[in-house]
Amino acid sequence: MQGVFAEESCTFIRMWGSNTTANGIAADASDNIYVTDTGNNRILEYTSEGSLITFWDLRESEYRQAKVPYGIAVDSAQNVYITDRMNNTVIKFTYRGSEVWGSEGTGDGQFSHPTGIAVDSSGNVYVADTGNNRIQKFTPTGTYVMKWGSYGFTDGVFNAPTGIAVDSYGLVYVADTGNKRIQKFHPSGAFLAKWGTSGTGDGQILTPTGITVDSWGNVYVADLTSRIQKFTTLGEYMSTCNTGGNTNDVAVDSSGNIYALWQSDPLWKIGKYGTPSSIPPQTPKQSHTFSITEETRQTNIAATTTSQNSAIPAKSPTPITNFTTAPTTSPATIISPALTINSDYDAKIAAQGYQNGGEVRETDIQKMILDRISKFYRDVFGIEINFSA
C-alpha cells in the first residue's frame, strides 16, 4: 500500500481496527490517536503504534447516553471534544469529568446533526452544524460566540458541511461535502478561498468528509475514496497517499505521519502511513520585503497635502505595486480586501494633517499604507511582512 507523498513513497506502516463503524479520528500533542467508535458508542484512545490506552463508554447517563458519536478533536490540554449526531450535542471530556452542551434546533448554540469539530490554539471550538448548513463557534466552556453560513452553492455558504479543521493561525478549513470543495475562512467567518472540483483526479475532490491541517500548514483531505490528498494552505495540490479503503477521516501527528480512518464493511480500520521525512523541517515564518520608490512617495504626498489654511480633502494615494518579492500565486479563488485606501483611511490622513498644522507628513502616509498591506497578508495568508523604505 503505497502512494506518492512529498515526492517519495508514503510507506504503509501498520493497521488496526474493529468490527463496527467509526467516523472520527484525531491526534493529540503526544501523538496519541483518538477514534469515535460509533457502532459501540465509545471513544477509543491508542498509542501511535495502535496499542489501546483507554476508552470512554458513552452509554452512561452522565453523557446523556450518547447515541451517534461522530466528530472528534483534542485541544492542547488534552481535553477531548466529540459531536453526538443523534442527540445534537457536543461533549467535552476533561480530567475533572465531562460537560455537555447544545440541543436540537436552529437557534444560536443549537444543532441539527453536527458532525465535524475542531479546536484552535486558544481553545475556541468550531462545529460543523451539518443539518443547518453553518459553522458555529464556542468558547472552551461552551458559550456561543458566533455563526456563519447557510444553504447554497456560492462563496461562504454550504451544502452539508462535514469536516472542519483550524490551523496554527486560527484560519478555518471546511469540507463542504455537498458542494465537493474545501472552503477557507478567517476566524471571524469571512470567506477567504475555495478549491476543488468533483472527480477522482489529482486535486479533484469526490465527497470530502474529513480534513486536518499539520503544524506546517499543509491541508489533508479524505473524500470517501481510497486516498488522502495533500494541499498547501492556498489550495495547491501537492500529493496523494493511497489507502486501503473508503477513507472518511484523517489525522496527522507531530512527525507528519498520516492516520487514515477507513471503512470496509463490517470493519473500520486505521492505516498509518508516511515517515518523518515526508514533511520538510519546520522553518520560520515567511518574510516578504517591499520597497516604495521616490516617485511613489512624492505622488502620495502630492495627493494628500494641502495648504495650512484650507480644508484637507480626502484623497486616495496611488496604490503600491512595486513589490520586490512577489507573494505566492495560487489556483484557489481568493477574495481579499482591496489595497486601495478607503474613506476611513482618508479620514485618518485628514485628521493627521490637521494635527500637523495642515501638513500631512510623508512618514504618516507611508505608515498607514504599509499597515494596511501588512494586515491583509497577516489575515489572509498568516505571514508577517517586513518593509524597507
Q: Based on the fold, state whether residues 231 and 368 are members of the same structural domain.
A: no
Asked if omega into 266 is within 30° of 0 (cis), the reply is: yes
**More reliable by pLDDT, 324 or 279:** 279
In a domain, 333, yes or no: no
pLDDT value at position 325? 33
Indicate whether 189 belongs to any domain. yes
Mean pLDDT of 327-336: 41
* CATH number of the domain encompassing residue 101: 2.120.10.30
Structural domains of the chain, count: 2
How large is the average pLDDT for residues 268-292?
A: 56
Read off the pLDDT of each residue in 253-265 and give the average, rounded to a whole number.
Answer: 89
- Let me know whether 354 and 261 are in one domain: no
Question: Is 214 in the same domain as 354?
Answer: no
Q: State whether 215 and 354 are in the same domain.
A: no
Last residue of a domain, one of 222, 256, 274: 274
The larger pLDDT score, comparing residue 286 to residue 71, is at 71
Q: Does residue 254 lie within any of the structural domains?
A: yes
Rounded CA-CA distance 73/297 in Å is 50
**Rounded mean pLDDT of 325-339?**
39
* CA-based torsion, 40, 41, 47, 49: positive or negative: positive
In this prediction the pTM is 0.71
> Could you give the angle at the alpha carbon of 204 between the alpha carbons of 201 and 208, nearest 5°?
125
In a domain, 143, yes or no: yes
326: Cα within 13 Å, side-chain hemisphere: 3
Residue 164 lies in a domain: yes
Give residue 385's pLDDT.
63
Highest mean pLDDT among 14-23, 321-330, 375-384: 14-23
In terms of residue numbers, what domain contains 356? 346-381
Within-domain flag for 163: yes
Q: Characterise 381 by phi-psi region: left (phi > 0), alpha (psi -120 to 50), beta (else).
A: alpha
Task: Give the whole-angstrom CA distance, residue 236 versus residue 66.
Answer: 39
The C-alpha cell 486558544 sits at 122
- Take residue 323 and report the three cell numbers written for it: 513589490
Of the two residues 289 and 17, the one the predictor is more confident about is 17
Among 223, 246, 274, which residue terminates a domain?
274
* Phi, psi angle pair for 120, to nearest 5°: -90, 180
